[in-house]
Amino acid sequence: MSKVSIILPTYNGSQYISSLLDSILLQTYKDIEYIIIDDKSTDNTAHIIQEYVKKDLRINLYFNPVNLGINKSFEKGIKLSKGNYIFLCDQDDLWDRKKVKKMVNKIEQGYDLVYSDLKVINSDGNLISKSFHRLICTNNLQSKNIAKYLLFKNITNGCSICFRRELIDDIIPFPDNLIYDWWLMFKISLKHKIGKLDEQLMSYRIHDNNAIGFLILNRDDKAKIDNIQESLNSLTLFSKQKNILSYRQYFCFLFKYYNIRINFIKHKTNLIRYYFTSIILLYYFPRLYKYIFKNIIEDTLPKLHIILVKIWVKQKMKV
C-alpha cells in the first residue's frame, strides 16, 4: 500500500474544522499522514486541532509564525510531506469515506494526476448542486486538451486533486498572484497524464462570503473589469512557461479577446467587433461552448448579441 499525504492549511476555520477532520480521519484507506499548517489563526482553530492530535498520531500540526496565505501554506505542507500520493484539502469541506481509496486506485492506472467531481453545499450543509463540474460546464472536457482549456479558466478545485510525489519539482514554487490549484493543473497538464473520476467524492462548501469564481452576475463594471484583468495576469504568467509553443495561438487570441471585452464594458460601444471576437472564441475553444456562452451572457451584453450567439451555437455545435 502506497503512503498518502493529505495537506490541510487552516486559518480561522473553527466553524467547520471538526466536521472536516472527522471526514478525512475516517477514510477507508489507512496509510495516510495528515499535515496541517495553521496560518496564524486568531480563533479557536488551533486548539480544536490539538485535541485531535492527542487522539490520532497520524496528524502532524505545524504553525506559521506569520500569516503566509493559502499558496505558501500549501507549498510548505507539500514540502513536508512524505507520501507517494499527495492530496490537497480545504478546511470547510466534507470528504466521502472512500475518496482516498478510489482516487489512489485511479491514479495507479497510469495517471500522474487525477481529480474527481464534487457536490456543492451551502454554509448549512444543504445541497446546492449534485455536480460541481456540471455547474461550471466543465463536465465534458477531454483530458488530452486540458492545457488549452486551462488557458481560459480553471477547471476544478484543489481539494478534488491527487498527484504523484514526483511532480513536486514541476509545480513548486506557487506564484503569489495566481491561485495554487489553477497553476498546479496547468503546469502538470503540459507534459503529464491527467485522469478524472466522474464520481462526487466530497462536498465543496460555499460560504456566504465566498463564491464560485465563474459567477459574475450582478457585479458592477469595476468588478467585471477586475475579474478580466485577473485573467490577463494569469495568461501573462502562463505564457512564460516552457512547453507552451503549441498553445501560442490560443494565448494571442485570449489576450486580444480580454482586452476587447474590457473596452466594451468601459465604453459600451463596438458591439460588432465584440460579437465577432466572441464567435472566434467559440471557434478556438469549441468544447467549452457552454462555459464561454455563460461568460458572454453574464457580461450583461445586449439581448440581440445573446440571441445571435445562441443560434450560432445551436447550428454549429448541434446542441
Instruction: State pLDDT tens for residues 47-88.
Output: 999 999 999 999 999 999 999 999 999 999 999 999 999 999
Query: CA–CA separation, 250 vs 296, rounded Å?
Result: 18
With a CB cutoff of 8 Å and minimum separation 6, the contacts of 222 are none
Instruction: Quote the cell numbers at residue 41.
Output: 489563526
% of the chain beyond a pLDDT of 90: 57
Instruction: Quote the cell numbers at residue 144.
Output: 488530452
C-alpha angle with apex 105: 152 to 199, nearest 5 degrees?
55
**CB 237, CB 151: distance < 8 Å:** no
Task: Determine the average pLDDT of the residues in 179-194.
Answer: 94
Q: Cα separations (Å) of 187 from 104, 152, 169, 192, 242?
A: 21, 14, 11, 9, 9
How high is the pLDDT of residue 222? 83
Q: Who has greater pLDDT, 265 or 90?
A: 90
How high is the pLDDT of residue 22? 97
Amino acid found at 172 = I
With a CB cutoff of 8 Å and minimum separation 6, the contacts of 136 are 155, 212, 214, 291
How high is the pLDDT of residue 26? 96
Query: CA–CA separation, 312 vs 310, rounded Å?
Result: 5
Amino acid found at 55 = K
How high is the pLDDT of residue 313? 65
With a CB cutoff of 8 Å and minimum separation 6, the contacts of 126 are none
pTM over 0.95: no
Residue 288 pLDDT > 80: no
With a CB cutoff of 8 Å and minimum separation 6, the contacts of 175 are 71, 183, 237
Instruction: State pLDDT tens for residues 269-280.
Output: 777 888 888 888
Q: What is the DSSP string of 1-14?
A: ---EEEEEEESS-T
Peptide bond into 302 cis (omega under 30): no
Task: Determine the average pLDDT of the residues in 75-102.
Answer: 97
Instruction: State pLDDT tens for residues 198-246.
Output: 999 999 998 754 544 444 344 678 878 888 888 898 999 999 888 888 8
Q: Provide the 3-class DSSP secondary structure of residue 62.
A: strand
How high is the pLDDT of residue 217? 40
Least confident of 31-35, 184-188, 270-274: 270-274
Could you tell me the fold of the domain covering 4-205?
Spore Coat Polysaccharide Biosynthesis Protein SpsA; Chain A (3.90.550)
How high is the pLDDT of residue 298? 63
% of the chain beyond a pLDDT of 70: 85
CA 181 remoteness from chain centre: 5
Query: CA–CA separation, 254 vs 258, rounded Å?
Result: 6
Angle between helices 303-317 and 271-284 (to 10 degrees): 30
Task: Determine the average pLDDT of the residues in 107-133.
Answer: 93
Task: Determine the average pLDDT of the residues in 24-32.
Answer: 96
In the structure, what pLDDT confidence band is assigned to residue 319 with cuts at 50, 70 and 90?
Answer: very low
